Amino acid sequence: MNIHTIATHLNKLAEDAGTGFDFDCTPINGEIDVLQVEIIGREEIPIFVSISDNQILCIAYLWGEDEVKQDKRMNMMEAMLEMNIPMPLSSFAKVENKYVVFGALSINSSLEDIELEVVTLSDNSLEVINEMDSYLN
């Protein structure tokens, strides 16, 4: 599995997508390859897919530390921890100064599993931002 296989699969889905979304994938070159997956209509919150030796990581960036109302920071974190298990397929994490939701898949996952992961992650991101609205500037 590599990001180009995933990109080809998602780009050619169009109307056939089992999840009902259109995708636009752009590979980002770097020390490790990252695939930027945009769901049409939700371009503002892309999903980044990277592949390491033993897992596929899908990450959506939610908000930066600077967007958090500092007096509500603890409440926000508690809410995130409480929501972590109920939230399907994704978990919260922090990468540098950004809060993220991510999903980790086995390297042997099918393309359909990856598609479902990306869409679920996108749905979760929107819902989380909506729900956590009161903690953000």
Partner 1 sequence: MSIFKKIITAVRGGASEAGEAIIDANSTRIFEQEIRDSEKHITIAKRDLTEVMAKQMQAARELAQVQASIKEHEGYAMQALNQGNEALAIEVAEKISELEISAAEQQQANESFLTSSDRLKELIKKSERQLTEYKRQLTMVKTTESVQKATSAITDNFSASNSKLLNAKDSLERIKKKQAMFDDKLKAAEQLESETPDSSLQSKLQAAGIGAQKTSAQSVLDRLKNK
Residue from the set 12, 32, 82, 106 that interacts with partner 1 by CB under 8 A: 32
36 near partner 1, judged by CB under 8 A: yes
Closer residue to partner 1, CB minimum distance, 112 or 125: 125
Residue 56's H or E segment, with its range, is strand 55-64
Q: Minimum CB separation from partner 1 for residue 42, in Å?
A: 5
CA angle 80, 75, 42 (to 5 degrees): 45
Q: Minimum CB separation from partner 1 for residue 113, in Å?
A: 19
| Separation between Cα atoms, residue 12 and residue 111, nearest integer Å | 12
Q: Which of 56, 26, 61, 62 shows the shortest CA–CA distance to 117? A: 56
- Report helix, strand and coil shares of the chain as percent, to nearest 5: 40, 30, 25
Contacts to partner 1 from residues 50-109, by CB under 8 A: 50, 52-55, 57, 59, 61-64, 67, 95-96, 98
Give the interface with partner 1 as residue ranges (CB under 8 A). 28-34, 36, 41-42, 44-45, 48, 50, 52-55, 57, 59, 61-64, 67, 95-96, 98, 126, 129-130, 133, 136-137
